[in-house]
Structure 1
Amino acid sequence: MKHYNVIIVGGGAAGFFAAINIAQQRPDLSIAILERGNAVLTKVKVSGGGRCNVTHAEFIPSELVQHYPRGEKELLGPFHTFMTGDTIEWFESRGVSLKIEDDGRMFPVTDSSQTIIDCFLNEVEKHNVEVLKGHTVKTIQKDEDIWQLSTNQGDFSCEKLLVATGSNTKIWKLMEQIGHSIVSPVPSLFTFDINDERIKDIPGVVAKGVEVNVIGTSLTSEGPLLITHVGMSAPVILKLSAFGAIELAERNYNFDIEVNFIKSSHEDCLEELKSLKQINPKKTVFGTSQFDLPKRLWQKLVMASSIEADKKWADINKAETEALANQLTKAVFKVHGKSTFKEEFVTAGGINLKEVNFKTFESKLHKNLYFAGEVLNVDAVTGGFNFQNAWTGAFIAAQAISK
């Protein structure tokens, strides 16, 4: 049995970040990362389309927590200790400069996730952290003050244990065996599958200012909407999927949404359409896209309003005007399933947050057992927020472990 002062289970973002911070503060400690796969930092590699969305340019803790459907209350204190500005400084002090994009997402200036991976690999080598790949943890037990772990490649022991395995159901089961309760995982961050003539054959079309409501719930969201080959995506949908993860799972991903493509009231839309009849009497409705909508989407909505392609603005009647206003401001679509958002599979679920001390990220049930990242029942909308949770939890856990 090999003994270390600290063992970190999970070779992902949170695990490496914690290991580096512990090693920097306590070079006297022996530290090992146990990773079940043959590669480390695989989620970092694919995140942000291979660019790694490191964090988000939100610098006020009370604003930042609003992007977490689960963990909002618990993360407020931790974000006052370590958040976006600290993340930027941490990476820049190690030679990794970050840039802010128009939507607030932050990436390495190299636009390559390999930059982040190389930074982590260089740091663990510099600080003599052992990275043991292909080590699947099978059991975790505590013998007095010592943690004992058995893996497919041998047994290990340590004084302090950090679990940073993300949404790993096998590790959750091991945590249940030592008394922790697990909130059952359901998918978060997914796109909506919709089969509807109004969005058929126009994948890639983006409507910028859209409001979407899930009918029969309080779930609502605003933002850009992307029409895909199978339905709808982009921030307005992903936010709904995150905040509605549990409720939408209970509906087996079959529900109706109401889409307001122009974020205007039905009444105001009607007035605007009446005005357009006066302004463009001789132009065809089909050929004159309005409300800054993409032309292909506008044409689909006009067709759905039963307005013929050659019909002029002056000739549309009251019923057709009403129908077009309905399509623009309260179009109902049937969702019949979900699709994973790119490679970035995120789940809602994990270690019950009531069982964790968020001043240290230590278990309330077991001394010297710590958690960081998505192993906890914390998840966020897309945009770098899940990584920020990983950095914050890992840093605070590392501070506690180093004492």
Structure 2
Amino acid sequence: MKKKIIVVGGGAAGFFCAANLDEKKYEVKILEQNSDVLQKVKISGGGRCNVTHACFDPRDLVKFYPRGNKELLSVFSKFQPGDTMEWFANRNVPLKIENDNRIFPESNSSQSIINCFKKEIQEKNFEIVTKTTVREIQKTENQYLVKTNIGEFIADYIIYTTGSSPKSLKILENLGHKTVPAVPSLFTFNIHDELLNELPGTSFEWAEVSIPKLKIEESGPLLITHWGLSGPAILKISAWKARELFDLNYQFEIKVNFSAETIEDAEIIFAEFKQQHPKKTIGQSKIFNVTQRFWNQLLAVSRINPEKQVAQISQKEMRSLLDQLCRKTFKVEGKSTFKDEFVTAGGVELKEINFKNMSSKILENFYIAGEVLNIDAVTGGFNFQACWSEAWLMAEDLNG
């Protein structure tokens, strides 16, 4: 007789685990509270689904995880991005590596990933039950009683992959697990400053961002948005310092170097340009690797007439201009969610999980994976990779 598995949460980790389970051994139900499954997969990467990242050495891969890096080393040594690519290729969903090493389906559509999962589940005759909210899980002698808004289910095994909502963490706490309170990770910084006015959509190939108070500096592409600043340089800082920024109530100062040149090097570059092109107007001078719109705004904020010849720019004006470009201080006054890809820092205490198979050390025949754990990563496909790897370990353990 088949054993019953209930997967609580129809997201990335839950589906990947179910897709790898042995249908001859198990009868599987996936319970999802929303009307549709795999919603984060659908919106990831602007609807293209950033499946994983081309980082194939587990020792390098774990460096992208502010929380969980030590624990994930053994997980990734068993299933890493190369294995993910092979898994999808074997199911006729080829993936491609883009220039920034992010990995997407060749179809450029997240629907390819969703269809693949649904097909696997259908072929195994596993059941997907949507609009089903789990309210409580009770441990009986040898099984679990799962109480939902549509009735009760009995399970021999629980796969708990709910994401990190407070309600889902509360259910685990009631079963004896300890949790770390969840706080947002991967968010953009809200800034009101005249330098950024009228410039949403302006991007920088490489910039440096630091929070002096927290002694952290990151670099990478940067983007001006309607609300302030975003892009990988900002998102990396928001992930690494998620808890500290929460404690600061998202009120702090950042320093931004839009050119990634030191102020000293920028002065040399400016002086050389001045010598070579003295009669050029400063407004039409392409001195640094920034857009024309941003350069015009820099001049306006520095109160420099764009029609002025470069030779006429005073030392004081040059200083003002380069200060804005290379070491501008902004006051951050809040955060905004990065797109719709809400990620949190916090969740189940990692010491309560056996990372050989993702089983609970507190509860028998109970497996936990995905964002419900106190594990998270920077943007770029890393959060999904943790889900695939953890889910694969659970399925391998259950398949025996």
Q: Same fold (TM over 0.5)?
A: yes
Higher deviation after alignment, 26-35 or 327-336: 26-35
Match for residue 127 of structure 2 among 117, 121, 130: 130
Q: Which of residues 65, 68, 79 is equivalent to 2:76?
A: 79
Alignment partners' CA distance in 1, 2:210 and 2:336: 19
Residue 126 of structure 1, CA deviation: 0.4
Q: CA RMSD in A?
A: 1.3
**Structure 2 match to 1:221:** 218
C-alpha separation between the residues in 1 aligned to 2:130 and 2:255? Answer: 48
Is 1:77–1:358's contact at 8 Å kept on the other side of the alignment? yes
Task: Please give the alpha-carbon distance, in whole angstroms, between the structure 1 residues aligned to 2:286 and 2:247.
Answer: 39
Contact 1:289 1:299 in 2 (8 A): no
Q: Give the Cα separation in 1 of the matches to 2:288 and 2:306.
A: 18
Which secondary structure state, in structure 1, belongs to the residue aligned with residue 293 of structure 2? helix
How far does residue 348 in structure 1 lie from its aligned partner after superposition?
A: 0.9
Q: Deviations over 1:26-60 (max 9, x none)?
A: 52211111111221111111111111111111111
Measure the CA separation in 2 of the matches of 1:318 and 1:47: 48
Correspondence for 1:92 among 65, 89, 92:
89
What is the alpha-carbon distance in structure 1 between the residues aligned to residue 80 and residue 62 of structure 2? Answer: 11
State the match for 1:19 in structure 2: 18
How far, CA to CA, are the matches of 2:39 and 2:255 in structure 1?
Answer: 37
In the alignment, what sits opposite 1:281?
278
Q: Which among 165, 170, 184 is matched to residue 168 of structure 1?
A: 165
Partner in structure 1 of residue 231 of structure 2: 234
- 1:12 maps to amino acid: G
Q: Secondary structure at the match of 2:116?
A: helix
Letter in 2 for 1:369: F
Write out aligned runs for 1:2-401 (5 A). Answer: 5-23=4-22, 27-401=24-398
Instruction: Please state whether the residue corresponding to 1:22 is helix, strand or coil.
Output: coil
Q: Which residue identity does 1:116 align to in structure 2? A: I
Superposition deviation, residue 302 in structure 1: 2.5
SS in structure 2 at match of 1:30? strand
TM-score normalised by structure 1 residue count: 0.96
Distance across 1 between alignment mates of 2:349 and 2:105: 33
Amino acid at match of 1:157: I
Q: Which consecutive unaligned segments of at least 5 residues does structure 1 have?
A: none
| Identical residues among aligned pairs (%) | 49
Please list every run of 5 or more consecutive structure 2 residues that lacks an aligned counterpart in the other structure. Answer: none
Cα drift, residue 265 of structure 1: 1.6
Question: Within 1, Cα distance between the matches of 2:34 and 2:194?
Answer: 44
The code of the aligned residue for 1:84 comes to P
Question: What TM-score comes out, normalization by structure 2 length?
Answer: 0.97
**Cα offset, 1:304, TM superposition:** 2.5
SS at structure 2 position matched to 1:216: helix
Tell me the CA shift for residue 110 of structure 1.
0.9
Supply the distance in 1 between the matched residues of 2:28 and 2:398 (Cα, whole angstroms). Answer: 11
Deviations 1:58-88 (A, max 9, x none): 1111111111111111111100000100000
Letter in 2 for 1:110: S
CA offset digits 1:146-186 (Å, max 9, x no partner): 11211111111222111001122211001001111111111
Q: Displacement, 1:4?
A: 5.1
**3-state secondary structure, aligned to 1:367:** coil
